[in-house]
Amino acid sequence: MHDDGAHNDGEAQDGLFGWELPAELAGRISARVELSMLSRAGQPLIRSAVLSCTLVEPALSLSESIDAQQRDGTTWTLAIEAWPLDTPRRLQVSAELWSKRGQEWVPVCWLARMQWPRVDGPRWVLDLDFDTRWLDLAQAGVEFELRELRVQDPDTQALLDHLAQMPWQAPALAMRRPQALAGLSTSSLLAALGMPTGPHTPATPQLLQPALMLVHGYCSSASIWPAAHFTQPKLEFLDPNANRTHDAFAQLIAARAQTAQLSSFGVVGHSQGGPAALHLLTYYSSGLDFASGPRRIQSVASPYQGTPLASLGFFACGVNDNMTPAGSATWLAGIPSWARAEVSYWTTSNSGSACNFLTGLLLADPEDGTVEKARGELVGGVSMGHSLGWCHTTGMSNPANYTDATRNQAMNAAAAR
């Protein structure tokens, strides 16, 4: 690794290190980073870490062409042009919308969408929709630009292309008639848009059939939630011994609810079940959008900021890019504040003795044998506290955290359905 300013490491000698990989390299890669230093007492120290990620082939190249078209009374579509470098594939597209108010640029809203590109002759078109009432709420001016426009692979979160800034002109949009600001707030606008879901438009449910969805985590071998701790209506999600991306996991939850013909559902999730439910709420329309009750998503011991164990190939069902510390940071960068606020989460740790001797060597205390307390915290979510005396799963020094009857019954009582 280098700190010379020539290897994607920022400025030379700034303490940030980077390296460059061969252009033809693709697929899953692992790297071991070793740092040698001297302690304050002059003793030699060596620290090492394993980094894992997936490199994907380039799929497109963003141009700086954008067209804004009115779709209905308040909704506009931003059509972003890109040039294909591969066959069409599903993409995750996100951007920040900014406007100039006087001499100051102000944020308006965050846009995101899972989509297949529209093929228009030799080019692709990526669409992002927004409601002009966000402009009124921000008291936006007549100049606009997109910032941090990112196109990513939905499964690996690998960045396919990125533009830090894209100015664009929309004379018709600038001449719109602003809505009255009386009573207009972020919460009221989200409610008017059918939220507190996100940038998608929920479908109208047909039958009133709510339930609480009990969701396990990564590589779970069987049912984990004690049946007696949760009351009807409920539905248990099962996908045993599987290693899924957050995106694939989220779609499976939605499919399970659809198969059961649920009109609405809340989620109680263990471990990866929490991030998967949050991903579902952010990017897709499902019965989760219609859940009614105090807590839409509740999670226990979820690695929102990743776990070092997910980088290890021998860990359970294998490497999971979305749950590595670096991969989780990339994923979280696309999760907006409105979605995070819908998550109530608990962290757990052992009561003194390591939950697992081997994993205890790789994790920083406090931890539960799989997830460190610090990495289980979701910035913008609702922390329900930290519980001592619990480990991540069975076979460890303390009981499995999903068997806590007191917490489970409290989650059941407060769950949205």
* CATH code for position 242: 3.40.50.1820
Query: Do 145 and 270 have their domain in common?
Result: no
Q: Are 324 and 311 in contact (CB under 8 A)?
A: yes
Residue 12 and residue 142 in one domain: no
Query: pLDDT tens digits, residue range 299-336?
Result: 999 999 999 999 886 667 888 999 999 899 999 998 98
Q: Is residue 253 part of a domain?
A: yes
Q: pLDDT tens across 134-189, in order?
A: 888 888 888 899 999 999 999 888 889 999 999 887 777 767 666 666 666 776 67
Of the residues 165, 192, 219, the one at which a domain ends: 192
Task: Tally the C-alpha atoms within 13 A of residue 109's C-alpha that lie toward its C-beta.
Answer: 22
Is the pLDDT score of 201 beyond 50? no
Query: Which residue in 231, 197, 198, 189 sits closest to 214, CA to CA?
Result: 231
Answer yes or no: do 165 and 252 share one domain.
no
Q: Is the pLDDT of residue 281 over 70?
A: yes
State pLDDT tens for residues 50-76: 676 777 888 999 998 898 888 887 888
Residue 32 binned pLDDT confidence (cut-offs 50, 70, 90): confident
* 201 occurs within a structural domain: no
Residue 204 pLDDT exceeds 90: no
Would you say residue 191 has pLDDT above 50? yes
pLDDT interval class at 199 (50, 70, 90): very low
- State whether 128 and 228 are in the same domain: no
23 & 111 share domain:
no
Same domain, 281 and 221: yes
Measured distance CA(27)–CA(18) in Å, rounded:
19
In this structure, are 253 and 379 located in the same domain? yes
283 domain residue, yes or no = yes
Residues 156, 10 share a domain = no
Predicted local confidence at residue 178, as pLDDT: 66
Together in a domain, 65 and 164: yes
Domain contains 183: yes
Residues 6+ apart with CB under 8 A from 100: 106, 140, 141, 142, 143, 144
Instruction: Write out the residue range of the structural domain in which residue 48 sits.
Output: 1-55
Q: Is residue 229 pLDDT above 90, yes or no? A: yes
Q: CA-CA distance, 51 to 45, in Å (whole number)?
A: 20
Q: Write the pLDDT tens digit of every residue in 382-417.
A: 999 999 999 999 999 999 999 999 999 999 999 999
Which pLDDT score is estimated for 63? 92
Number of domains in the chain: 3
Question: Would you say residue 264 lies in a domain?
Answer: yes
DSSP secondary structure of 219-232: T--S--S-GGGSPS
- Assess if residue 204 is contained within a domain: no
Alpha helical stretches, state H, 65-117:
none
Average pLDDT of span 188-198: 57
State residue 122's pLDDT score: 94
pTM: 0.84
Q: Write the CATH number for 144.
A: 2.60.40
Write the pLDDT tens digit of every residue in 86-143.
999 999 999 999 998 888 999 998 899 999 999 999 999 999 998 888 888 888 888 8
* Percentage of the chain lying above the pLDDT 90 cut: 59
Mean pLDDT of the chain: 88
198 found inside a domain: no
- 117 & 180 share domain: yes
